[in-house]
């Protein structure tokens, strides 16, 4: 009798074991909005992405990945103060997340340079010269030096 029950249950157990993710009705709305925002951002639709990530944050408050994405959207839109605030909150929520840390470091370096340029323009009225692009810099090493 136990064998008969196991034979009936075995296919069901195998099916459940093979399911890669929870069924669609079990997904939370925050992850749906998050994904929608990612797709919009990939298409360059940053306002739509921002809207979706704000909705996702309301559904999943304090989610560091959503905070990071919102920071990127604000950075892209030129709202640097809001971006910095969101990056810092995302790092506070998830200090070990490499992606968030890397995004914040890149943003921070850019933002500091931007603030320095603005300050220089206010003081002297001229924008400081930008560093030449790496491909336009002259070769400054001796001819017998090993390649980089």
Q: What is the CATH number of the domain that holds 103?
A: 1.25.40.10
Residue 114: the pLDDT is 93
Kindly report whether the global pTM for this prediction surpasses the value 0.75. no
Residue 5: the pLDDT is 57
Residue 142: the pLDDT is 45
Residue 127: the pLDDT is 59
Indicate if the alpha-carbon torsion angle 48, 54, 60, 62 is positive or negative. positive
Query: Which range of residues forms the domain containing residue 32?
Result: 27-126
Q: Which H helix or E strand runs over 25?
A: none
pLDDT tens-digit profile, the chain (148 residues): 555 554 564 454 444 444 444 444 445 678 999 999 999 999 999 999 999 999 999 999 989 999 999 999 999 999 999 999 999 999 999 999 999 999 999 999 999 999 999 999 988 766 555 555 444 444 443 444 344 4
Tokens 């992405």 belong to residue: 49
How far is 119 from 122, CA to CA, in rounded Å? 5
How many independent structural domains does the chain possess? 1
Tokens 């196991």 belong to residue: 6
Rounded to the nearest 5 percent, the helix, strand and coil shares of the chain are: 70, 0, 30
Residue 147: the pLDDT is 45
Dihedral of the CA atoms 67, 68, 69, 71 (nearest 10)?
90
* Residue 148 is assigned to a structural domain of this protein: no
Indicate if the alpha-carbon torsion angle 139, 105, 115, 81 is positive or negative. positive
* Residue 19 is assigned to a structural domain of this protein: no
* Residue 144 is assigned to a structural domain of this protein: no
Burial class (CB in 10 A: 0-12, 13-18, 19+), 82: middle
């Amino acid at each position: 009798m136990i064998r008969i029950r196991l034979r009936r249950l075995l296919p069901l157990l195998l099916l459940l074991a093979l399911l890669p993710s929870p069924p669609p009705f079990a997904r939370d709305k925050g992850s749906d909005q998050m994904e929608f925002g990612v797709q919009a951002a990939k298409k360059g639709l940053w306002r739509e992405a921002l809207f979706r990530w704000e909705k996702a944050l309301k559904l999943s408050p304090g989610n560091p990945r959503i905070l990071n994405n919102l920071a990127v959207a604000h950075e892209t839109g030129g709202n640097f103060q809001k971006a910095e605030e969101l990056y810092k909150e995302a790092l506070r929520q998830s200090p070990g997340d490499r992606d968030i840390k890397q995004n914040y470091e890149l943003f921070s370096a850019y933002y500091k340079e931007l603030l320095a340029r603005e300050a220089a323009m206010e003081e002297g009225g001229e924008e400081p010269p930008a560093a030449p692009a790496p491909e336009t810099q002259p070769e400054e090493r001796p001819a017998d030096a090993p390649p980089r």
